[in-house]
């Protein structure tokens, strides 16, 4: 008579098996023996053996039921059937000071000394975590948080010993829920303000800004540079000029002092006279003499040429060496030691006359301090050639020098400093800017040649009117000047291009431009190649949308560096803007 074998779980399907007389039920991986079956001993023994070895085989049992065990002899792992598949049966993870010697691929163990979890990859133990044996958070973590507009922002945190050191973000935003040390998060790497003196340590090779001011607005200390602003040296120590600080312009209690520092060296004043460099005045440092028109003065004031003066006051002592030629018309007052010939001898002791002709003299002093003038506003001298001028205030129509302050004389006028010819304005000591720099802007509307004099250091706008004509801009020859050319697109080319090209095939461009693909806000970066000499912005795949930027820097002879940020509108994919097109 048949009998029924019931499962533990009566709700299982099937929940039982029926075993007929004199036969073996093979619905499972065990042999269920019917009543009266001959040879039942072997089947019972095999059932016990199969259970003892957990059906050990390289392949899984073919008729498993839920909860059945199988030892996978290929993976050397005990597995259990879930009703749909065999899965590892699990087990305790070893908690020991050293890695167990009998590990199989995929096995886990915990280092009891450090509290860190490892897995065995078949050849070595790989750390799972935590990264620090202290148990605190270290390294990079990733999370998504809401900003003040409830938009999700994906960020990367940098932790050390449980402290959040920095946040890395591709956007600038304000967290909705405050984060200690991060009132706002900037695009790039934002350091925590909650940790005192936290900063990047080392030497920066480049910077967009310093103290919030664009790097293009600072004067160079190691190269020729110019400024359109006011330059002030707000200390009495003044300005030193020369590799050995040969010349010093300083301020004392009596006023401004020009002095040479090196013993017995001369001070020379030169002009560009119709293209010829001419020495007009020399102060002899070894003899404390002034020479005008001569570089070797033999007296305190030695003038080689004609002296034109409206008046002299005070006694003139000492011998006059050489001839006084020409007529003295008008009155000469005071004492004259020596012989005066000609009509001037009739008027020596009279007052109120005028001396015409050339006067050669030594010291000229007024009879009373701060009382008399040299010239007048309505009758001025054309030129004054003096080695040293000591005064409370020096004033021209254009500038006024008062104490250590130089200002424009006319109301609302600019104060301009300019070198002569190819010369430049050099500042060789610390300069303090109390005002601000106004950066110059130039707009390209058609094909043009870029020059350092007209375009270096300016904001250069790509603004072809209407965006309907190609604009080709040719760079100057790179010399390593360090000149910076910053371009911003203000008009998008619909069917034409902006091209920025090297002047010849010897000049090349190195660097990269980053692109934002607005289809999915993904970013791409295109580097230059060795022969790159042309950059093309087509308003589409190569960038050139309004607001796109790129910067070119003259870094060496025949070598330009480029960096930039571009966007490619939805529907197009970014493409490299670089090519080798200059022959």
Beta bridge partners of 189: 168
- Kindly state whether residues 519 and 566 are assigned to the same domain: yes
| Listed residue (130, 96, 122) closest to 110, CA to CA | 96
| Listed residue (155, 110, 153) closest to 135, CA to CA | 110
Average pLDDT over residues 312-323: 61
- Kindly state whether residues 40 and 110 are assigned to the same domain: no
Q: Has residue 354 got a pLDDT over 90?
A: no
**501 domain residue, yes or no:** yes
**547 domain residue, yes or no:** yes
- Kindly state whether residues 455 and 544 are assigned to the same domain: yes
Residues 6+ apart with CB under 8 A from 102: none
- Kindly state whether residues 83 and 99 are assigned to the same domain: no
How many Cα atoms sit within 13 Å of 250 on the Cβ side?
A: 12
Using DSSP, how many helices (H) and how many strands (E) does the chain show? 2, 39
Q: Has residue 342 got a pLDDT over 70?
A: no
Q: Has residue 95 got a pLDDT over 60?
A: yes
- Kindly state whether residues 16 and 50 are assigned to the same domain: yes
- Kindly state whether residues 465 and 574 are assigned to the same domain: yes
**175 domain residue, yes or no:** yes
State the total domains in the chain.
4
Residues 6+ apart with CB under 8 A from 8: none
**390 domain residue, yes or no:** no
Lowest mean pLDDT among 207-216, 343-352, 395-404: 343-352
DSSP code at position 344 = G
Query: Residue 91 — pLDDT band, cuts 50, 70, 90?
Result: low
Percentages helix, strand, coil for the chain, rounded to the nearest 5? Answer: 5, 35, 60
Q: Has residue 378 got a pLDDT over 60?
A: yes
Q: What's the predicted TM-score (pTM) here?
A: 0.35
- Kindly state whether residues 445 and 572 are assigned to the same domain: yes
Query: Residue 203 — pLDDT band, cuts 50, 70, 90?
Result: confident
E-assigned strands of 147-254? 152-160, 163-169, 188-191, 209-210, 213-214, 239-241, 247-252
Rounded to whole angstroms, the Cα distance separating 281 from 385 reads 7
Average pLDDT, the chain: 85
Instruction: Indicate the residue among 151, 171, 191 that finishes a domain.
Output: 191
Rounded to whole angstroms, the Cα distance separating 330 from 311 reads 11
| Listed residue (403, 384, 406) closest to 393, CA to CA | 403
- Kindly state whether residues 101 and 179 are assigned to the same domain: no
How many Cα atoms sit within 13 Å of 508 on the Cβ side?
A: 11
**345 domain residue, yes or no:** no
User: How is residue 98 written in tokens?
Assistant: 């050293």
Taking CA atoms, 19 is separated from 24, 34, 64, 209, in Å, by 7, 5, 18, 88
Lowest mean pLDDT among 71-85, 141-155, 398-412, 481-495: 398-412
Q: What is the pLDDT of residues 439-450, one digit of tens each?
A: 789 999 999 999
Q: Which domain holds residue 172?
A: 139-191
Beta bridge partners of 127: 118
Q: Has residue 93 got a pLDDT over 50?
A: yes
| Listed residue (552, 550, 554, 426) closest to 482, CA to CA | 554
- Kindly state whether residues 455 and 536 are assigned to the same domain: yes
Rounded to whole angstroms, the Cα distance separating 558 from 553 reads 11
- Kindly state whether residues 542 and 509 are assigned to the same domain: yes
> What percent of the chain lies above the pLDDT cut of 90?
46
Lowest mean pLDDT among 28-32, 249-253, 334-338, 403-407: 334-338
Q: What is the pLDDT of residues 511-542, one digit of tens each?
A: 999 999 988 767 899 999 999 999 999 999 99
- Kindly state whether residues 451 and 571 are assigned to the same domain: yes
Does 145 or 367 have the greater pLDDT score? 145
Average pLDDT over residues 116-136: 81
Q: Has residue 349 got a pLDDT over 70?
A: no
**406 domain residue, yes or no:** no
Query: Residue 326 — pLDDT band, cuts 50, 70, 90?
Result: low
**51 domain residue, yes or no:** yes
- Kindly state whether residues 46 and 157 are assigned to the same domain: no
**211 domain residue, yes or no:** no
Given this model, what pLDDT does residue 318 score? Answer: 58
Q: Report helix, strand or coil for 34.
A: coil
Rounded to whole angstroms, the Cα distance separating 306 from 315 reads 21
Query: Residue 135 — pLDDT band, cuts 50, 70, 90?
Result: low
Residues 6+ apart with CB under 8 A from 70: 54, 55, 56, 57, 60, 61, 64, 78, 79, 80, 81, 86
């Amino acid at each position: 008579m048949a009998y029924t074998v019931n499962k533990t779980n009566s709700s299982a399907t099937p929940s039982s098996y029926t075993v007929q007389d004199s036969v073996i039920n093979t619905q499972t991986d065990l042999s269920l023996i019917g009543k009266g079956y001959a040879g039942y001993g072997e089947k019972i023994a095999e059932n016990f053996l199969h259970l003892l070895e957990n059906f050990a085989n390289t392949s899984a049992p073919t008729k498993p039921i839920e909860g059945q065990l199988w030892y996978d002899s290929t993976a050397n792992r005990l597995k259990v059937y879930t009703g749909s598949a065999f899965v590892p049966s699990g087990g305790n993870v070893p908690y020991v000071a050293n890695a167990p010697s009998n590990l199989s691929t995929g096995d886990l163990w915990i280092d009891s000394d450090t509290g860190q979890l490892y897995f065995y990859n078949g050849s070595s133990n790989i750390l799972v975590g935590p990264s620090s044996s202290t148990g605190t958070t270290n390294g990079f973590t990733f999370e998504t948080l809401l900003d003040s507009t409830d938009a999700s922002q994906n960020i990367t945190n940098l932790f050390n010993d449980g402290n959040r050191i920095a946040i890395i973000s591709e956007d600038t935003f304000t967290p909705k829920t405050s984060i200690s040390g991060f009132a706002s998060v900037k695009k790039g790497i934002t350091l925590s303000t909650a940790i005192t003196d936290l900063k990047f340590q080392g030497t920066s090779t480049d910077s967009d800004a310093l103290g919030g001011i664009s790097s293009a607005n600072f004067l160079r200390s190691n190269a020729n540079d110019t400024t359109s602003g006011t330059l002030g040296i707000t200390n009495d120590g003044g300005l030193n000029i020369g590799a050995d600080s040969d010349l010093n312009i300083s301020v004392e209690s009596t006023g401004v002092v020009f002095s040479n520092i090196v013993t017995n060296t001369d001070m020379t004043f030169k002009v560009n006279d119709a293209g010829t460099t001419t020495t007009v005045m020399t102060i002899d440092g070894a003899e404390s003499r002034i020479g005008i028109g001569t570089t070797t003065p033999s007296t305190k004031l030695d003038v080689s040429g004609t002296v034109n003066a409206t008046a002299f006051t005070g006694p003139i002592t000492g011998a006059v060496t050489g001839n006084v030629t020409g007529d003295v018309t008008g009155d000469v007052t005071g004492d004259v030691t020596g012989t005066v010939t000609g009509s001037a001898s009739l008027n020596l002791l009279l007052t109120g006359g005028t001396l015409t002709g050339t006067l050669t003299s030594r010291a000229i002093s007024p009879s009373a301090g701060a009382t008399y003038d040299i010239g007048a506003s309505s009758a001025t001298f054309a030129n004054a050639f003096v080695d040293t001028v000591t005064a409370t205030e020096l004033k021209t129509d254009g500038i006024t020098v008062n104490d250590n302050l130089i200002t424009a004389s006319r109301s609302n006028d600019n104060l301009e400093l300019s070198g002569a010819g190819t010369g430049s304005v050099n500042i060789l000591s610390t300069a303090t800017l109390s005002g601000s720099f106004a950066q110059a802007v130039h707009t390209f509307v058609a094909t043009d040649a870029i020059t350092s004099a007209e375009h270096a250091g300016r904001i250069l706008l790509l603004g072809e009117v209407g965006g309907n004509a190609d604009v080709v801009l040719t760079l100057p020859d790179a010399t390593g000047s360090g000149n910076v050319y910053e371009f911003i697109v203000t008009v998008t080319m619909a069917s034409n291009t902006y091209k920025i090209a090297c002047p010849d095939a010897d000049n090349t461009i190195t660097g990269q431009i980053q692109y934002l693909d607005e289809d999915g806000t993904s970013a791409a970066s295109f580097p230059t190649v060795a022969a790159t000499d042309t950059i093309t912005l087509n308003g589409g795949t190569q960038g050139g949308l309004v607001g796109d930027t790129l910067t070119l820097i003259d870094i060496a002879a025949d070598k330009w560096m480029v960096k930039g940020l571009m966007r490619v509108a939805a529907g197009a994919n970014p493409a490299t803007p670089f090519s080798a097109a200059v022959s």
